[in-house]
Each structure stands twice: as C-alpha cells, then as structure tokens.
Amino acid sequence: MACCGRYLPWIAAAIVLLVAVAFVALWIRLRETPLGVAVAVVPAAVSSASITPQVIRLWPGKAPGSESWSQREVEIGIDGERYARNVVDPTITAYFPPAGNVNGTAMVVCPGGGFRMLTLDREGADVARDLNAQGITAFVLRYRLTRTSAAFMALLLERLRGPRELEPDLESMTPLILADGQQAIRVIRSHAAEWGLRPDRIGMIGFSAGAYLALHVALHHDAESAPNFVAALYPMAPDPLTSPPEKIPLFLLAAEDDPNLSPAENAVRICTEWRAAGAAAELHLFAKGGHGFGIRRQGLPVDTWPDLLHAWLASQGYLSPGM
C-alpha cells in the first residue's frame, strides 16, 4: 500500500489533466459554429474585375506530400472570429481592389495558428482588405495543417510553451507549408498579366507561424517562387537561420511582452542576419502588444503597425502605380 501511496499524487495529477482537456474540448465544441468551406476554382476561372473574394486551388491535383490525408477540413467561428483547421487542399483567396485603385503590387497573406489552425480574419481577410485600400491585390493563403480534433486549442496552447514542444510539428509540416508558400507565389506570378499584376512586385506578409512560412520561402525558392519582399509579424525564426540568397527587403515587427516563443528576440536575430547579407531590413519593437493581435486594435502604440507597413511599402516603391 505504501508503494501505491507514492504514486497517488501522480495519478491524481493525471486525472485532473485529463478532466481539464476534456472540459476544454467540450467548451470549444459548444462554442464553435461550423461555417463550411468555400468551393475553390482553378486560376483560369478568376476575374480580376470582381471585388468578391475568390478561392483558388493551389495544386492541379492532390497537394504533393499529403496525398493520403483523409481528415475533413473545417472552418469554425469562435466569438466572432473565423478559424480553419485540418486544411488538406491548400488555397489562396484573392481580394482584388476596386477598379481605379490598383497599383500592380500583390501580397500573399499567411495567417498564424501554430500549424494547427489558421486565424482567418484578424490575420487574414481583414489584413487583405487593409492592403486593398492601399491598391494592393491580396491573396490569403490556407496552407496545410497538422490534423486536430475539437481539443485543438488546448493542445496548441501547450505546444506554444516553448520551441521543443513545437518540434514534431515543425519537422513534419515545414516541407509541406514551404511547398504551399512557394506554389502560391508561382500561381500568382504565372497569372500576373491577366490579373493586372507586376511579376516583380509580389510579396508576402506572415503572422507567427505564417511569418515562419514567409521567411522560409524567402530563404528557399526558385526563380518562379521567389518573393520580391517580405513582412513578418511576431515571427517564429527558421532554424537554422541563414542569410537570404537574394537581397529581399524585409519588414519585421513584434512586441517585447509576447510570451510565445520569444518573437522579439527572433525578430532581432532575423534582422541581424538579413543586414549581414546586405539586404534591407526594418525592425519595429513595441513594449506591449502580446501575441496574435493581427490587425485588431488594443488601444496601444502597436496598433499603428499597419501605418508603419504602408510607409515601408511606399519607401520601397510598392505603392506607386506600377502598370
């Protein structure tokens, strides 16, 4: 009995943990509202004259590397915010500015979500509409995600405690999301003429895991998939972090009170590496802001980040008429 007594605290802790996870899973299931997934079309069916968002297939068939995946893609609503999980068929959703307000620049928007979900509004659609107001055509990327259940949020929060917790996801997902990011650039560049875009003015903006994706594409690409510029907000840093093969301009931003994976330190490291390679890099660090704020206002100085991005894009020549 004494032997059993030594394990009682561990058994009790395990039971408490299981009950907590079950409670969080039930809580999420009760709060989430299934929204369905929009039907995607092939790039040739896209009209740049339409200001209605158009979902475009990235790959002509099943995405390479995940042909055997069978999970069901789900889009859900939680507290007025849309999320996607279990993405199997990657897409880009095109947001074209109104006629007369197009400057020929395009940006791929990469939402974050720790490789387990995508934050579709404050790091996706809302960012796309902000870019539209600057004359930029935006494409929100739904890249492939790790398979999850309704308890995805609890597991994600556990994984965000540190880099080691994310290592399994990074190892399995990096080749797939890199391929999706590269393919997004290829599709946009190959259809630039018919969509009113300049093939030499295609950039990427990413948030958290989406910033990791955008930075990976900046470091690993061919001529057709190379981004012309990149913006990374509260980024995860690629490991190993190497110098970019070309001098791709980079915009970085993070908050120093961000508790998840030290994005402020990552931003400094990335900026240092970029500058060491002779590439232009602009870095903004804010004292407060936390993680995952996207384009939502918090009543803090970090709320000004879209204006800073617009000014940077203008300084690089990407907001001037280019056609």
Q: Which residues contact 199 (CB under 8 A, 6 or more apart)?
A: 189, 192, 193
Give the per-residue pLDDT at 27.
Answer: 46
What's the mean pLDDT in 143-160?
68
Q: 20-34, 188-202, 273-287: which range is least confident on average?
A: 20-34
What's the mean pLDDT in 32-43?
70
Give the per-residue pLDDT at 216.
Answer: 96
- CATH: 3.40.50.970, 3.40.50.1820, 3.30.70.990, 3.30.470.20. Which one for 35-315? 3.40.50.1820
What are the boundaries of each domain within the chain?
1-31, 35-315
What's the mean pLDDT in 271-279?
95
Q: If you average pLDDT over every residue of the chain, what do you get?
A: 87
Q: What are the structure tokens assigned to 293, written together?
A: 């704020």
Residue 30 has pLDDT above 50, yes or no: no
Place of tokens 């190892």: 171
Give the per-residue pLDDT at 48.
Answer: 93
Place of tokens 């197009």: 102
pLDDT 10s digits, 40-57: 899 999 999 999 999 999
φ and ψ of 218, to 5 deg: -65, -30
Is 25 exposed, middle or buried, given 0-12, 13-18 or 19+ CB atoms closer than 10 A? middle
Give the per-residue pLDDT at 119.
Answer: 96
Q: What's the rounded Cα separation, in Å, for the pair 119 and 141?
A: 11
Give the per-residue pLDDT at 10.
Answer: 56
Q: What's the rounded Cα separation, in Å, for the pair 232 and 181?
A: 14
Cβ–Cβ under 8 Å, residues 228 and 203? yes
Q: Which residues contact 212 (CB under 8 A, 6 or more apart)?
A: 206, 235, 236, 237, 238
What's the mean pLDDT in 179-204?
97
pLDDT 10s digits, 79-90: 889 999 999 999
Of the candidates 266, 89, 233, 18, the one whose C-alpha atom is nearest the C-alpha of residue 166 is: 266
Q: What's the rounded Cα separation, in Å, for the pair 89 and 128?
A: 21
Give the per-residue pLDDT at 149.
Answer: 72
